[in-house]
């Protein structure tokens, strides 16, 4: 996986029959155990939830929930986005997030938000590169995780084109 090598990355949708790789990734990546509602929301979001494969190995995922706002507009909540440590730095997280941003632009969805633990500097910096801004800190959000604080980040989405998300190494 050295620099300069062609990386074979593919994205695949999550359906009932392949939800197990998402569950395994979540167990490896996050300090939270997700309930059935999380997986039902992920499946219901359709193309907004994806697995990333390096060759045939599932190494990352993004799972979203589509929410109806008052007035009928849809917003996207990114429930989780993660890539296994040995595969970070290869653009996999960027590809997953760009996929969701592109879907938002195609569907005229103008609001995306997510939560990040306050001590997760890598994630905070990653999202800032995409224009996400911290809008609030929720104290005592977690009961069994240290620190218990959580940042809410928000992006008023600008529409992007498919050309903007093309990554030459894919």
Domain locations in the chain as residue ranges: 9-165
- CB within 8 Å of 142: residues ≥ 6 apart: 32, 117, 148, 149, 150
Active-site residue, 115 included: yes
Is the pLDDT higher at 9 or at 152? 9
With H, G, I as helix, E, B as strand and everything else as coil, classify residue 7: coil
The superfamily CATH assigns to domain 9-165 is Gcn5-related N-acetyltransferase (GNAT) (3.40.630.30)
Do 78 and 62 meet the contact criterion of CB atoms below 8 Å apart?
A: yes
Instruction: Determine which helix (DSSP H) or strand (DSSP E) holds 11, and give its type and residue range.
Output: strand 9-13
Share of the chain above pLDDT 70, in %: 78
Is the pLDDT higher at 98 or at 135? 98
pLDDT of 115 reads 85
As a whole number of angstroms, the distance between CA 117 and CA 134 comes to 11
Active-site residue, 141 included: no
Catalytic residue among 34, 53, 77, 154: 77
The predicted model scores a pTM of 0.83
Catalytic residue among 115, 141, 142, 154: 115
């Amino acid at each position: 996986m050295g620099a300069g090598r062609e990386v074979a990355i593919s994205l695949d949708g999550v359906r009932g029959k392949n939800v197990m790789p998402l569950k395994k990734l979540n167990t490896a990546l996050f300090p939270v155990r997700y309930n059935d509602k999380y997986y039902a929301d992920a499946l219901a979001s359709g193309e907004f939830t994806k697995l990333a494969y390096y060759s045939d190995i599932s190494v990352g995922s993004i799972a979203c929930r589509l929410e109806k706002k008052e007035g009928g507009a849809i917003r996207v909540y990114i429930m989780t986005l993660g890539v296994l440590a040995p595969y970070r730095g290869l653009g996999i997280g960027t590809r997953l997030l760009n996929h969701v941003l592109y879907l938002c632009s195609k569907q005229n969805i103008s609001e995306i938000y997510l939560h990040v633990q306050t001590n997760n500097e890598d994630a905070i910096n990653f999202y800032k590169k995409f224009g996400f801004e911290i809008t609030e800190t929720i104290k005592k959000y977690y009961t069994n995780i240290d620190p218990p604080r959580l940042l809410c980040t928000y992006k008023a989405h600008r529409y992007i084109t498919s050309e903007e998300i093309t990554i030459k190494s894919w």
